[in-house]
Structure 1
Amino acid sequence: MPVLHIPGSVRRLCLALLAAALLFGSVAGAAADEPGWTAEPAAGGAAAARPSFYLAGPAGTVLEDRLALTNTSDRERTVTLRGADAYNTAGGAFAVRPGQESAGAGSWISFGAAATVKVPPRTRAVVPFTVTLPPAALPGDHPAAVVATEDGREVGVRVDLRVGGPTLAALTVEDVSVRGKGAAAVVAYTLVNRGNVALAPELALRAEGLFGEVPGRTARALPVELLPGQRVSLTEPWPGAPVLDDVALTLTVTAPGAAPATATASAWFVPWGLAARTGAGLLGLGGVTAAALLLVRSRRSRREPPAYEEPVPAGSRAPEHELTGASR
């Protein structure tokens, strides 16, 4: 079979072209993975960038702000804008509701004729919007968001709305229980925001066992912002849980401006594996003891003669009678 000989210069050129092709493919793939556009609060003049919107006013007023859409790609983008209600997920995360389910603060947000925006390539567009606070809006915080959608991709920008009037910070802790054991033990509980302002709660855990205080958890900030009227279910790691004890737990939750909330629970810690082995051992020991007692009794019954009554002379024996009727 003939062998094809390729000059070294040609081989080097081929390798260079292959490397360039691979590099171009990786760059193109990375560019394809990029979202191509962003949405954020528009900065006014020399003001610093804002992570979210904050708007406040009395009920019945109209508030205004602006959203910045930046197209970083080489093609035109058509972005649809809407308002949405915000809420806590069961685990405490901040989330927004679909458009058809937003009947609260999200429905107060309007982009008017700019609900659909075409953004040219490499262009930044600033879109104004209004927030109309209803005359009957209740005082306090009303979390919402501005949602931008394009080709199935959604970007939400948080909107913190506060309606003027009296505010109340209040929360409760409920449904306390212990899951797991040892270093893997966790305390499960539910937090409920019963006020009308968002809360940043802190939690402390105190435990008292049969033999004194058990290591708990000092107060620490929880990684959740509890929105008004929301309920979240959380767990707290408890690495200091005992191995064998009957423990009374006290959870104390605090938040700025709110009265401390407490809840109690009890937990019985038993190393069931050791308990099962110990129980089996005790049962076995009891069986051996019972068998030994039976053996001793049987041996005694074989060695000891039966106890006889003193013999009675034949002549002095009382006659035997058959009882067939009434006594005389």
Structure 2
Amino acid sequence: MPPMPMPSSARAALCAAALLAAAATPAHADGGGAAWSVAPASGGGTRPAKDGRPYFYAEGTPGTVLQDTVTVTNPGPKPRTVSLRGADAANTGSGALSVTPAKGAPKDTGAWITFAKRQVKVPPRTRAEVPFTVTVPTGALPGDHPGAIVASGGGRTAGVRLHLRIGGPTLAALTVERVKVDKGTGRITYDLVNRGNTVLTPRLAVHAEGVFGTLIDRAPRTLPVELLPGRRVSLTEPWPDAPALDSVDVRLTATAPGGARAEASGSARFVPWSVVAGGTALLLGLAGGAFHLVRRRRRSPDEPEPEATPQERQDGRRELAGAGAGARPITGTGTGTGTVTGTGTVTGTGTVTGTGEGL
């Protein structure tokens, strides 16, 4: 493709992750032959160099047609037939880069790529150069449109990255969402979402406060993720020395070139439940023992007195006998008069004298 100026932000992002995972190593030919490979043609595109380019880069406006060339090298002793196709690039849920599968239909950059030959036969120890074009639709949105060229042959697949930027307003924006702290392991999980239209290489800072002060204060560091426009990835942050007992607030701050910045927080209450369960069982045991002890000492008023033992009954008889031996006579005299009136009159007077003993 014709040389074009490359923005510094895009250059930094591309240098961080130039190739797709599928293109990390060349594909190996079947039958134990030497490896065959696919790469951008040397001396072309926006980054001409003697040792070739690690990826394709193109920039244009809607409605333009961009040109470049892909090289397929076969160093083996047998001819190789390789098929070429265009694919869209995407992020997996964990942040890795992937491309649309062979059976899937690309909808973005991959659909705009047209090869001079979709299938090429490469003689032994030679290379074949295949021109291709990228036709930018008139209604294409501005910003970054990552894609790839994928080659398949001999049961193997390899690919090379194609980064397309369409002219127009660009926006670098992201959000941090769904921050959670695992109370068992302390692991922090969160989502990063690219809300803009440029590829982002985010940086993350982590801060955590507990009841007694700061627990984590990690400086910003670059994440091993190239976040494509409109994509969401779920990431984790380890915390091996999380507290056993504390109330913690965690704050994540994400930044990226171009002025993108976002923050989000999460909280967790760390409680050693095994210790709490053991202490609770001990307290319940002590409370139960105290309850039974008090119940035995506090007898009900309606409960009958316990029957006296033979010794207690014998001691009682001795006390009664001793009291009877000291009895004194009691003497008393009384006089009374009574009158009854009826049809007749009866008058009587009597005197009663008695002597008795009392205890």
TM-score (norm 2): 0.71
Shift of 1:46: 5.0
Question: How many Å separate the matches in 2 of 1:269 and 1:180?
Answer: 6
Shift of 1:35: 6.3
Structure 1 residues 296 and 211: CA distance shift in structure 2, 3 A:
farther
Shift of 1:36: 2.9
Question: How many Å separate the matches in 2 of 1:103 and 1:60?
Answer: 17
Number of residue pairs aligned between Structure 1 and Structure 2? 273
Q: Is the 8 A contact 2:33 2:77 kept in 1?
A: no
Question: How many Å separate the matches in 2 of 1:251 and 1:124?
Answer: 49
Deviations 1:153-190 (A, max 9, x none): 21111100000111000000111111253xx4211111
Question: How many Å separate the matches in 1 of 2:200 and 2:34?
Answer: 33
Question: How many Å separate the matches in 2 of 1:284 and 1:65?
Answer: 81
Q: Could you say which residue in structure 1 is the equivalent of 2:286?
A: 285
Q: Could you say which residue in structure 2 is the equivalent of 1:148?
A: 151
Shift of 1:49: 2.5
Larger deviation: 32-41 or 148-157?
A: 32-41
Q: Could you say which residue in structure 2 is the equivalent of 1:245?
A: 246
Q: Could you say which residue in structure 2 is the equivalent of 1:79?
A: 82
Structure 1 residues 171 and 51: CA distance shift in structure 2, 3 A:
same
Shift of 1:204: 1.4
Question: How many Å separate the matches in 2 of 1:206 and 1:218?
Answer: 9
Q: Is the 8 A contact 2:144 2:165 kept in 1?
A: yes
Kindly report the root-mean-square deviation, in angstroms, between the aligned alpha carbons of the 2 structures: 2.4
Equivalent in 86, 103, 108 of residue 107 of structure 2: 103
Alignment of 1:100-249 (within 5 A): 100-112=104-116, 114-181=117-184, 184-249=185-250
* Secondary structure, aligned partner of 1:101: coil
Alignment of 1:263-282 (within 5 A): 263-282=264-283
Q: Which amino acid aligns with 1:294?
A: R
Q: Which amino acid aligns with 2:181?
A: V
Deviations 1:83-117 (A, max 9, x none): 101100001011000243201110111103x1110
Larger deviation: 154-163 or 94-103?
A: 94-103
Structure 1 residues 122 and 259: CA distance shift in structure 2, 3 A:
closer
Shift of 1:247: 1.0
Identical residues among aligned pairs (%): 54
Question: How many Å separate the matches in 2 of 1:295 and 1:210?
Answer: 46
Larger deviation: 211-220 or 199-208?
A: 211-220
Shift of 1:152: 3.0
Q: Is the 8 A contact 1:59 1:137 kept in 2?
A: yes
Higher gyration radius (CA) = 2
* Secondary structure, aligned partner of 1:134: coil
Q: Is the 8 A contact 2:183 2:270 kept in 1?
A: no
Deviations 1:217-238 (A, max 9, x none): 3321111000000011111111
Shift of 1:298: 4.2
Question: How many Å separate the matches in 1 of 2:302 and 2:181?
Answer: 57
Question: How many Å separate the matches in 1 of 2:107 and 2:92?
Answer: 18
Question: How many Å separate the matches in 1 of 2:260 and 2:71?
Answer: 40
* Secondary structure, aligned partner of 1:172: strand
Unpaired runs of at least 5, structure 1: 1-29, 306-328
Structure 1 residues 35 and 93: CA distance shift in structure 2, 3 A:
farther
Shift of 1:294: 2.1
Unpaired runs of at least 5, structure 2: 1-28, 307-359
Whether 1:51 aligns to 2:54 is yes
TM-score (norm 1): 0.77
Question: How many Å separate the matches in 1 of 2:260 and 2:83?
Answer: 43
Structure 1 residues 231 and 266: CA distance shift in structure 2, 3 A:
same
Q: Could you say which residue in structure 1 is the equivalent of 2:352?
A: none
Question: How many Å separate the matches in 2 of 1:82 and 1:144?
Answer: 11
Q: Could you say which residue in structure 2 is the equivalent of 1:88?
A: 91
Question: How many Å separate the matches in 2 of 1:158 and 1:262?
Answer: 31
Question: How many Å separate the matches in 1 of 2:30 and 2:115?
Answer: 31
Alignment of 1:305-320 (within 5 A): none
Shift of 1:39: 0.7
Question: How many Å separate the matches in 1 of 2:134 and 2:254?
Answer: 34
Question: How many Å separate the matches in 2 of 1:284 and 1:147?
Answer: 71
Question: How many Å separate the matches in 2 of 1:118 and 1:203?
Answer: 47
Q: Could you say which residue in structure 1 is the equivalent of 2:63?
A: 60
Shift of 1:57: 1.4
* Secondary structure, aligned partner of 2:208: strand
Question: How many Å separate the matches in 2 of 1:300 and 1:56?
Answer: 100
Q: Is the 8 A contact 2:74 2:124 kept in 1?
A: yes
Q: Could you say which residue in structure 2 is the equivalent of 1:22?
A: none
